[in-house]
Amino acid sequence: MTDLWSVDRAIADDMLVVFRMIMTFRIYPTALGHQDDFAAIVERWRPETKGPRE
């Protein structure tokens, strides 16, 4: 958790917004129409998971 101390303030504020949305809405971001955005994030961060999901 102490790694968060080095996060830029603006990014930290954005992270808090996301955490609050997760807590409030209790739905996946894809339900809000962000499927392509999150697929791109997963592909960038975890390329080994690329491919069709079963």
**Residue 42 near residue 49, CB atoms below 8 Å:** yes
pLDDT in tens, 2-50: 887 899 999 989 999 988 988 998 888 778 888 899 889 889 988 887 6
Q: Which residues contact 37 (CB under 8 A, 6 or more apart)?
A: 29
- Looking at residue 49, its pLDDT comes to 77
Q: List, as one string, the DSSP characters of 22-44.
A: HHHH-S-GGGGT-HHHHHHHHHH
Q: Which residues contact 4 (CB under 8 A, 6 or more apart)?
A: 12
Say what the pTM is: 0.52
Coil/strand/helix, residue 1: coil
